[in-house]
Structure formats: structure tokens, C-alpha cells
Structure 1
Amino acid sequence: MPHIFWVLAVFLAVAGPVIWLWSYNEAIPSLSGRVEPWRLTASVALGKIQADKMSVQEYAESLLERIKARDEVVKAWAYLDEKRVIQEARLLDETPKKNRGPLHGLPIAVKDVIYTKDTPTQFNSPLYDGHFPKTDAASVRILRHAGALIFGKTTTTEFAAIHVGPKTRNPHDLLRTPGGSSSGSGAAIADFQISMALGIQTGGSLIRPASFNGIYGFKPTWNPVSREGRKIYALMYDTLGWYGRCVGDLVLLADIFGLQDDKDEEHAFQGIEGARFAICKTSIWPIAGPGTQDALARAADLLRSHGAEVHELELPSVFDDVPEWYRIGLHTEGRTSSLPEYRVGKDQIGQVLIEHVENSDNFTRKTQLMASDNLGRREAFIPRS
């Protein structure tokens, strides 16, 4: 029987921030003992809506109240039209049950690089102030068809390129960043302003805010969800993913987007005890901060204490070049994707994007193809037992 390895990638200890967030004054139960709807996870809220224990409008109004109380300091939203949200919530409540989709009434926030036909998509760029696409992105169309309530647009770094950030703050500590580029989505989930949100990753833009904000984030493998209808940065990396506050929340959208894994009943996960985890630190691990290194060590110890086997992988030396191959791909594909904005308004885009277009690193087409080929066949470098 082949060995089973579960790859462990820990960027921050999650438990502490989540517990801290629940210590906010706003999280203290009311005198009646009633749980405010804004505190609910997406899966619990959806269950209440489906069971007629909570209306879509009631849930939407609770979230809007939470946003009013917190967004002045957290600043997670790029665009939010309260009247539109309530109007759509009422329409969803009036929808006959036979016509309701599997996500009926579930509010979902959308990162502001993904097209939405009823709210502006502005990419955190002055070049796109008031820009209303005429159609939804494919991902948004799928969610609407499933009955989701597209709530509003969350902040992003400029064109999701992680260099020019929004004013969004980390709700755990307002002096700290929520991470990027999916800044608003991560902060809004962590601050209980929304229970589900879409994000995009090109180089950490999903998992970084999940880590910084102490929430659950899911970055699927490359290209299982359509990227049609969003601002492209680097086609070979861009991936749509999402955030929630529990694993069950993440599964909701995985099902709607039709994600499927190859079935392997013989090796189905049965629990932590006896499971084998692999830690892969890569060649750039030495530059990780002490907090990150300590978090990974503590995570490994925690797994061992619950009966898991934890092994450290040693990658062949050829993998030392992966960061450079990635950088070449990012810069050369960024040159293509940023050219329209460069032509129209060079003085209104960030310096990094200008450098992409002007090819400040002098990457040739041959170099780009070399990097792409090496990344594509990197699995061939791993020795098989």
C-alpha cells in the first residue's frame, strides 16, 4: 500500500485570533440570550433560511447593522448599496420554494476585481471609477443562479497586484494589515460583516488574508472555477477561491462550483490519529519570520500530540529555482495584462505595473517559456519510490 501524505502548510496559528475576535464587546450575547444573525456561519445561516427560521431580509439587515457599526474603522467595502441589498433580499423571500436554489438567500461578498452587473467593479484604480460591467463574471452568474444574494464589493489592492493597498485594517488589531490582495474579503469575514466572500489568488492573495485574519480560506487547484469576467493578472497563476468561518462554509461553494476530486476510497481520510502529514518548507523558509516558524513548529507538535505522523520533505535542489521561475511568469504575464491601463493612463497606475509593461528586468520570450516549462514539469523532478 502506498504511503499517504497530507501536506501541511501553516502560515499562522489560527486559534488565537479567532478566540480574540469573539472577545469583542459586540460579541457578548444579548440579555435575551438571542444570537444575533450576523454571528452565524454561512452554513448555519443557510440552514435557518431553508427551515424558515430566519428570513433573507432579517439576515441581510443584521449584517448591514454590523457593517454600520464596524466599517468606519475596518473599511472592508469598496461598494455597498444598502437599498439594493434589502430590495433583493425581499425578492428572494418572495420566491416560491419550488424555485429556490441551493444557496437561496445566502449573502456573498465579491472581491472588487470580479465583474458584477449591478454594482461597480473598480479594481481600486482611478482609471475605473464608476465602472459598471454589463454582465456578471461566470462565478457570480453561478452563485446568483444558485440563489445567493450578491451583497457588495470588497476592497482589493490595485488590480489585485498586492502593491498599492486599500485602507482596509485588520479587525483584530487596527494598526495591522489584513493582508492582500483580497483585503476586504478577509477582513469582512473576520469581523462578522459577512459570512462568505470571494477572493482571487495569484501569489498568496487568498491564503495570506485568511492567515492574517484568522479565518478559513480555500484556494483550489489551478483553474477548476471559471475566471471569465475578472481582471486578469497572470493567467498561469490566477485562481478564484473563497472565505468562510468553518470548513462547512467552504464546502457549500465547492459543491456549487462543481469541484470534484478523484475518488480513492481505500485511502479516505479517517481522522488525525495515524494520518501522515508532510511539512514542506522550501528554499525560502529561512527568510520566514520567527512567528511563522514558531507557528509551523507548534502545528506539527499539535498534530503529533493527536497521534499523527509528521514528516519533513526534502525537495531536490532544482526546486530552489521555483521562486525565480514564478517571478518571471508573474512579470511577463503582468506585462500583457497591464498594457491597456499603461496605454490609457500610465500616470494613474502603480510603479510595479509600469515596470512590468516596460520590462525593467529585460526578460526575453525565451526566458518566459523556460520558466513556464520548468514550472509545468516540476513534478518530474520529484523522485518516486
Structure 2
Amino acid sequence: MNDFPDLSLQELAARLARREVSAETVARASIARIEEMEPAVHAWQHFDPAQAIAQARRLDAQAPGGALHGVPIGVKDLMDTADMPTTYGSPIYAGHQPQTDAICVAACRNAGAVIMGKTVTTEFATFHPGPTCNPHRTHKADGTLQVHTPGGSSSGSAAAVACGMVPVAFGTQTAGSIVRPAAYCGVVGYKPTYGMLPLAGIKSLSPSLDTVGVLARSVGDAAFFIGTLSRLPLSPLPAVAQTRLRLGICRTQHWDRASHDARTALERAVSLLEAAGARLSDVSLPDQCKGLSEAQMRIMGFEAALAFAPEAQANPDGFSNAFVRFIAAGNAIDGATYFAAQELAVAARCALTGIFNDVDILLAPSTEGVAPAGLEATGDPIFNRMWTLLGNPCVHVPLGTGAGGMPIGVTLIGPRWGDAQTLAAAALLEGSFATQQ
């Protein structure tokens, strides 16, 4: 299975379903890639090759019965697994062994997936980083290695997919934890409409915001994976009527934070989509959308302070200094401020509906720029917060590289529950970029 790193998830699943290759062979190929790359990347919190092979052998003894039969996947270590420890990125939960799977993990098993292990998450999916390095590392002039952040909080999932350890891996997003690591690592990141996949069995940070999604090597693979789990017809992607596709260029109120690389990526996307026949126009967000990033931060902080009250009482010394400050800030937010932030989100969602009467999809920056050097921080989710609060589907599409050869791309945003059309537009951009390479 030497071509495994180059196969799409869908092609791999098709070969496995036709019994052209065994689940054990695929698992061993994945293990070989992990063992090759992991000493430098550190994508995995828990990885047991024997456990993965045992799963694959059980599947090989059965007739293929699910869309993901034999496909190796990564599971973010924020999600409970009944047969693997789940630490939520915190020493408080070192060695913690859940009794049952998170619902989304159970759905993967029902579809026949091989759970390769648990990918690194930042502490409780916030901002204190883990050990994962961006696979797209650059070297200083003197030849020494300069590592870059993979982003967070789905750090290990993005890195594992970027270097071919697995074709897809779970991510979750509360601020920018799918889109940002996807952008930094040069993979596709798909944050579905809020509520598409259930959160039961996932350590909650902010119930109003937490969203399950995926990191993948292509838009089609992301659609296939989430479509399988949600039982929605997301794959195959519908053909886009290119001459009628209306895209709104949305630079957002944070455009002054966009670097030269981010601006160039947006211009590249505009050029590619225009050449593909789409109609593009500039879009200004309604006044109700002002202050959404700040509202997202207030909601996230307020809810997280409540969610982690048990740990704060029982084991406060287990928190990082960064998490202590985060919880303290959340505790300083009163209920009236929290309600006002939620009311602003409701008003903005209603106002944005009017925007989608005039355009089909919005096009916006994914990040301020390429992944920052060092592992002390995971980057700023400034261009992601508002979309997560609004609950709209978002797809990050890689568009080459920027400074130092590091990945860069853009985000396509659709109306709530317009995931299929958002993915289809993202696939159009992805394909247009590929034909120019």
C-alpha cells in the first residue's frame, strides 16, 4: 500500500470495500508513516500500533458494512474513547479512561473506521499549547531547525493529516480551532453548521459554540466523512452552476489585521473564482455584526468558567497559568453581559440572512497570515470567532504558500444549514487552484 499517503479518503474507502486491500495493510501503512514522522511532529497523545492492528484484523474478518470500513482516522483527545485514555490536554486527566465513546467516535466505529489513536489537543481546547509542531517547518540560515505552531486547538489532528499519517481526523471549534490549524498546516478544515454533529462525550468548553468538524486533505473527503456521520447527502458534492454562483468578498471588520500573505490569498481566490465563472462582489456586513468577536469571547469565557468549576474546586493546581487567567476573566463576566452577547448573536444571525439573499457564499480570510514561529502560542483566531458564534458552515481551502514557504488559504462561509453548497463552492475553488499548479 505504498500509495496510501496519496490516496483520497474516498478512493481508499472504495478499495477497502472492494477488498482490493485489507484493513490491516492500510493500518500498517498508516503506522509506518506515523512512526516515521512522529518523532519530529508529536501529533499523537495516544498511539498503540498493536491496538490499531487488532481493530483492522477484526474488520478484515467481517464483510465490509460501513462507508468507512477499514479507514484509519485520528480522534482529537477531547473526545471520549472507551478503549483509549482521554486526557483533554490536561495533566488533571492523565490516565483517564472513559467507559464509553463519544457519540461521534461511536458513529465512526459503526461505519467501520479504524481509530488509530488520540491526537494532541491544547489544554481543554483553549490556548495553552501541546508539543505538536507544524509539519511545514523551515530552517534558519545557519541550518538549525525553526519550528512553527500548527495552530490550535486541533493541533495534532491538523498535523497528522498534513503529513499523511491519516486521511482525516476529528477537530472541534469554539473560536477557530478547526480553521486556524487547517490554514497553518495546509489542509482542508470543515466546521459544519453548529449542531450538525452531537457533542455528547466531548469535554465541553462552551456549549453555545462548540462544534464538531474535520481536518482532511480535500474538500471532497471532508464532505464524505461528515456526510457519513451526519447521514446527510453531502457527498458526492453537487455540481456548482458556475455562471450563477454569487460570492461575496467579506474582508470583515478585522481587515487591518490581515498580513500581506492573507491579502494575497484572498486576491488569489477572487481571481480563480472569477475565472471559473462565478460572480463576485464586495460585501459589507450589517451593523448588527459589529462586536461579534468580542461577544464570542464573552460567551466563551462565561460558559467555560461554569464548565470548569468542578476542576477549579477539586484540582486548581492542575491548570496552566494561561487557563487560570482565562477562567478568571470568564468569572468576571456577569450574567447581563453574557445575555447581551447572546442577544447580539441572535440579531446578527437574522441580519446575515439578508446578506445570503444577495450572495450564495461569503469569502473571507482564514488567519492573519502564516503560522507564527515557535510553540509558545497557537496564533490568534480573530478571523474565525464571529463565524463560529453565528454558527455558519465554514470551509478552509489551502491556496499555496506565503512567507517562508508556509501554507496560506481562505475560508468560504455559507448560510446556516447550507453546508452542501458551501462545500461545493469550496471544491470549485480547490479544483481551480489545482489546475493552475
> 262, 276, 283: which is aligned to 1:306?
276
Q: Does residue 47 of the first structure (1) align with residue 23 of the second (2)?
A: no
Q: Does residue 341 of the first structure (1) align with residue 308 of the second (2)?
A: no
Paired position in structure 2 for 1:113: 78
Q: Does the CA-based 8 Å contact 1:36-1:62 persist in structure 2? A: no
Q: Does residue 154 of the first structure (1) align with residue 137 of the second (2)?
A: no
Q: Does the CA-based 8 Å contact 1:220-1:241 persist in structure 2? A: yes
Q: Does residue 86 of the first structure (1) align with residue 53 of the second (2)?
A: yes
> 339, 349, 362: which is aligned to 1:369?
339
Q: Does the CA-based 8 Å contact 1:113-1:160 persist in structure 2? A: yes
> 308, 317, 339: which is aligned to 2:287?
317
Paired position in structure 2 for 1:186: 158
What is the DSSP-based 3-state SS (H/G/I as helix, E as strand, rest coil) of the residue aligned with 1:300?
Answer: helix
What is the DSSP-based 3-state SS (H/G/I as helix, E as strand, rest coil) of the residue aligned with 2:97?
Answer: coil
Q: 1:203-235 deviations in whole A, cap 9, x for unaligned?
A: 110011111111112110101100000110111
**Cα shift at 1:382:** 5.0
What is the root-mean-square deviation in Å for CA atoms of aligned residues?
A: 2.0
Q: Residues 382, 346 of structure 1: CA spacing in aligned structure 2 closer, same or farther, 3 A cutoff? A: same
Q: Does residue 249 of the first structure (1) align with residue 221 of the second (2)?
A: yes
Paired position in structure 2 for 1:3: none
Supply the AA of the counterpart residue of 2:62.
T
Q: Residues 189, 273 of structure 1: CA spacing in aligned structure 2 closer, same or farther, 3 A cutoff? A: same
Supply the AA of the counterpart residue of 2:149.
T
**Cα shift at 1:269:** 5.2
What is the DSSP-based 3-state SS (H/G/I as helix, E as strand, rest coil) of the residue aligned with 2:285?
Answer: coil
What is the DSSP-based 3-state SS (H/G/I as helix, E as strand, rest coil) of the residue aligned with 2:291?
Answer: helix
Q: Does residue 170 of the first structure (1) align with residue 134 of the second (2)?
A: yes
**Cα shift at 1:144:** 0.7
Supply the AA of the counterpart residue of 2:6.
R
Q: Does residue 137 of the first structure (1) align with residue 112 of the second (2)?
A: no
Q: 1:268-295 deviations in whole A, cap 9, x for unaligned?
A: 7534344221111211121122211221
Alignment of structure 1 residues 5-20 onto 2, 5 Å: none
What is the DSSP-based 3-state SS (H/G/I as helix, E as strand, rest coil) of the residue aligned with 2:308?
Answer: helix
Q: Does the CA-based 8 Å contact 1:338-1:356 persist in structure 2? A: no
What is the DSSP-based 3-state SS (H/G/I as helix, E as strand, rest coil) of the residue aligned with 1:124?
Answer: coil
* Distance in 2 (alpha carbons) for counterparts of 1:47 and 1:269: 21
Q: 1:286-306 deviations in whole A, cap 9, x for unaligned?
A: 112221122111211221223
* Distance in 2 (alpha carbons) for counterparts of 1:382 and 1:71: 43
Q: Residues 292, 378 of structure 1: CA spacing in aligned structure 2 closer, same or farther, 3 A cutoff? A: same
* Distance in 1 (alpha carbons) for counterparts of 2:81 and 2:201: 9
What is the DSSP-based 3-state SS (H/G/I as helix, E as strand, rest coil) of the residue aligned with 1:57?
Answer: helix
> 187, 190, 200: which is aligned to 1:228?
200
Supply the AA of the counterpart residue of 2:76.
K
Supply the AA of the counterpart residue of 1:83.
A
Q: 1:240-269 deviations in whole A, cap 9, x for unaligned?
A: 00122122211222222225489xxxxx75
> 189, 211, 216: which is aligned to 2:183?
211
Q: 1:88-128 deviations in whole A, cap 9, x for unaligned?
A: 1111101135xx22211111110000000101101121111
Q: Does residue 64 of the first structure (1) align with residue 64 of the second (2)?
A: no
Alignment of structure 1 residues 31-46 onto 2, 5 Å: 35-46=2-13
- Count of residues in correspondence between the two structures: 344
Paired position in structure 1 for 2:68: 103
Supply the AA of the counterpart residue of 2:87.
Q
What is the DSSP-based 3-state SS (H/G/I as helix, E as strand, rest coil) of the residue aligned with 2:131?
Answer: coil
**Cα shift at 1:182:** 0.3
Q: 1:33-54 deviations in whole A, cap 9, x for unaligned?
A: x843233221111111111111
TM-score by length of 2: 0.75
> 220, 234, 242: which is aligned to 1:272?
242
* Distance in 1 (alpha carbons) for counterparts of 2:194 and 2:123: 22
TM-score by length of 1: 0.85
Q: Does residue 285 of the first structure (1) align with residue 255 of the second (2)?
A: yes
What is the DSSP-based 3-state SS (H/G/I as helix, E as strand, rest coil) of the residue aligned with 1:243?
Answer: strand
Q: Residues 355, 114 of structure 1: CA spacing in aligned structure 2 closer, same or farther, 3 A cutoff? A: same
What is the DSSP-based 3-state SS (H/G/I as helix, E as strand, rest coil) of the residue aligned with 1:257?
Answer: helix
Q: Does the CA-based 8 Å contact 1:224-1:259 persist in structure 2? A: no
Supply the AA of the counterpart residue of 1:52.
R
Q: Does the CA-based 8 Å contact 1:338-1:353 persist in structure 2? A: no
**Cα shift at 1:169:** 1.0
Decide which moves more: 247-256 or 320-329. 247-256
* Distance in 1 (alpha carbons) for counterparts of 2:209 and 2:99: 26
Q: Does residue 126 of the first structure (1) align with residue 91 of the second (2)?
A: yes
Larger Rg: 1
Q: Does the CA-based 8 Å contact 1:334-1:353 persist in structure 2? A: no
Q: Does the CA-based 8 Å contact 2:288-2:344 persist in structure 1? A: no
What is the DSSP-based 3-state SS (H/G/I as helix, E as strand, rest coil) of the residue aligned with 1:377?
Answer: helix
What is the DSSP-based 3-state SS (H/G/I as helix, E as strand, rest coil) of the residue aligned with 1:46?
Answer: helix
**Cα shift at 1:327:** 1.2
* Distance in 1 (alpha carbons) for counterparts of 2:25 and 2:224: 21
* Distance in 2 (alpha carbons) for counterparts of 1:232 and 1:291: 34
Q: Does the CA-based 8 Å contact 1:335-1:353 persist in structure 2? A: no
Q: Does the CA-based 8 Å contact 1:180-1:208 persist in structure 2? A: yes
